[in-house]
Chain A
Amino acid sequence: MSIERSDVEKIAHLARLELAEADMPGYVHNLSSIFDLVAQMDHVDTDNVEPMAHPMAMTQRLREDIVTETNQREHFQQIAAQTENGLYLVPKVIE
């Protein structure tokens, strides 16, 4: 299956990835070959097969509703790029 430049641009935007112009042809080419590889699945009939989301047939365990976490804000915010008054800062969000 062939991937077009416009597909790459669209998914790069969906995934919020800036791609250098020079790398664009490489991505188009490589993604196309990856989808060629993936297309090998098409030869197999999977009509009556149950999709398998998870390797183990297990069910979700439930946690007791208990608060055990304490405030670690200072610790966690040491690794943040920009904070002020306990808030994480990002470029202005326009609504």
Chain B
Amino acid sequence: MQWEVVIGLEIHAQLATKSKIFSAASTAYGAAPNSQACAVDLGLPGVLPVFNKEALRMAVKFGLANGCDITRRSVFARKNYFYPDLPKGYQISQMDHPIVAKGELEIELEDGSTKIIGITRAHLEEDAGKSLHEDFHGMTGIDLNRAGTPLLEIVSEPDMRSAKEAVAYMKKIHSLVQYLEICDGNMQEGSFRCDANVSIRPKGQQEYGTRAELKNINSFRFVERAINVEVERQIDVLEGGAKVVQETRLYDADKNETRSMRSKEEAFDYRYFPDPDLLPVEIDDAYIEAIRATLPELPDAKKMRFIDEYNLKAEDANTLTSDRGLADFFEAVVKTGGDTKLSANWVISELLGALNKGSMGLAESPVTAEMLGDMIKRIKDNTISGKIAKQVFAAMWEDEGDADAIIEAKGLKQVTDSGAIEKIVDEVLANNPAQVEQYRGGNEKILGFFVGQVMKASQGKANPGQVNQLLSAKLKD
């Protein structure tokens, strides 16, 4: 049987506010356990929540960036359940009236085609604390620092048909929230997490199959693997004549399998109702328009502009705009260096390569955009060749100074004095009479050999164009 995969994602993005969604405690990551859990976060008797202005602004910003409907009157509701990392016994969330309603997002697939994925809603809620399962005499430790951190839960329509589509969607949202500066996107620290609702159905069937919810998948790679392995499991179940059970499953990356979360097996009855400690959040058009005015250029628009303005290939434009910081870096390189194609090549292959090799973020790069731009300027004005530039770049990476200083100190300036080049060319031709004969006998491919020899003799400093020219002229004599 031909199966069709149906996937919907629930993405939890921690909003990059300084303080928590309902208290004035810090949201900073990595503090000592419970040192950032204030009376409100602990749910002490008598405490009350007050809503953080920034969390609202960020949620609205997200909605506007996706053309979503913004709810003029949104309501906080309590989701009631008992769990040790949930101090009040309920999570403040939104149910019937989420701040962000319907919208959509276009994703690009590997073959270059695009697809529209529906956004059902995005609502504000508070994060829970963390359970630490190291052994405390057979007990579990609870750290409530994370409790109350604002989350935007972005719920998609079940519009994705493969793990790859799911990953493309997730990456798109990931890039977007960072563009909007509403989430740091740090998946290792849990700032950006994802649950996937996965089901399968016979191709052509209208109704959806029973779905399993895969919890807390914390990397793009795992999303793809978790979905694929879950799909295989469901196919095995159905083809074995059994039924898929609606349940929550946990992806185990070590074993590359999903397994039922027994602790969550019990059918939950969350008893949602409007939180009486909080009032309806009302916003007007002026508020929304003021936020719209602050929207930055978004990835799609930026990509189009890069293609247009810098004459980049779609693929390069894609890479450069996948991250707002990278796009800004590239534009700064262009501004200094002048050459868009060189700048794109250097940023994409050399800079990203070096960062990847060192597992570093862009912010940690020892080579700034200005430094790289200056170096490109030296390629453009023939001070150095592209090949020498690699040496210069490597030296800049090792903090040896800017391009000019390195070129000077290492004597890497390109030789453009045609007399000097001619001298080397003559020497090379004189030392390789056999190859000269071959060339003159019609093997013109051997020209590369002479170029290589000249460059070697000049320690790479001879201008390759001039070398070519001189060689061709002399060999034809």
Contact = CB atoms under 8 A, between A and B. Distances in A.
A71 B144 CA distance: 12
Given A62-B52, A86-B33, A95-B250, A67 B282 contact: no
A interface residue count range (under 10 / 10 to 19 / 20 to 34 / 35 or more): 20 to 34
Interface string B138-171: 1111111000000000000000000000000000
A42 interface: no
Given A65-B18, A72-B38, A95-B263, A89 B141 contact: yes
Given A14-B271, A53-B274, A89 B136 contact: yes
Interface stretch (B24-32, B189-197, B360-368, B379-387): B24-32
A92 interface: yes
B35 interface: yes
A91 B350 CA distance: 53
Contacts of B18: 65-67
A49 interface: no
Interface string B236-259: 000000000000001000000000
A18 to B, nearest CB: 13
Interface of B: 17-19, 23-26, 32-39, 42, 44, 50-56, 73, 75-76, 82, 84, 131-133, 136, 138-144, 250, 261-263, 269, 271, 274, 276, 278-282
Given A63-B24, A69-B26, A77-B34, A87 B132 contact: yes
A65 B148 CA distance: 13
A54 interface: yes
A77 B141 CA distance: 13
A82 to B, nearest CB: 8
A82 B24 CA distance: 26
A67 B42 contact: no
A59 B82 CA distance: 29
B261 A95 contact: yes
A89 B141 CA distance: 5
Given A59-B282, A73-B35, A92 B139 contact: yes
A73 B141 contact: no
Interface of A: 14, 16, 53-54, 58-69, 71-73, 76-77, 82, 84-95
B19 A61 contact: no
B280 A87 contact: no
A85 B137 CA distance: 13
A20 B351 CA distance: 69
Nearest first, the 5 closest Cβ-Cβ pairs linking A and B are A87-B141, A65-B54, A62-B53, A69-B38, A86-B33
Given A66-B18, A76-B39, A77-B34, A58 B141 contact: no
Given A59-B279, A67-B25, A92-B138, A87 B34 contact: yes
Given A54-B276, A60-B278, A88 B52 contact: no
Given A59-B280, A64-B53, A91-B139, 18 more contacts: A59-B73, A60-B51, A62-B52, A65-B54, A65-B55, A66-B19, A69-B26, A72-B38, A73-B35, A76-B34, A87-B143, A88-B141, A88-B142, A88-B144, A89-B139, A90-B139, A92-B140, A94-B263
8 contacts: A63-B24, A65-B18, A66-B19, A67-B18, A82-B139, A84-B136, A85-B136, A92-B140
Contacts of B50: 61, 63
A53 B56 CA distance: 22
A22 to B, nearest CB: 25
A67 B24 contact: yes
Residue among A59, A82, A88 with most chain B CB within 10 A: A88
A14 B270 CA distance: 9
A24 to B, nearest CB: 21
Contacts of A14: 269, 271
Given A59-B280, A60-B278, A66-B24, A94 B262 contact: yes
Given A53-B274, A66-B24, A69-B24, A59 B281 contact: yes
Given A90-B139, A90-B140, A60 B24 contact: no
Nearest to A51: B274
A64 B144 CA distance: 22
Given A60-B282, A62-B53, A93-B131, A85 B138 contact: no
Contacts of A64: 53
A90 B142 contact: yes
B279 A71 contact: no
B279 A65 contact: no
Contacts of B278: 60
Contacts of A66: 18-19, 24
A51 B190 CA distance: 38
B51 A65 contact: no
Contacts of B261: 95
A64 B279 CA distance: 17
Contacts of A73: 32, 34-35, 37
Contacts of B139: 82, 89-92
A70 to B, nearest CB: 8
Contacts of A63: 19, 24, 50-53
Contacts of B143: 86-87
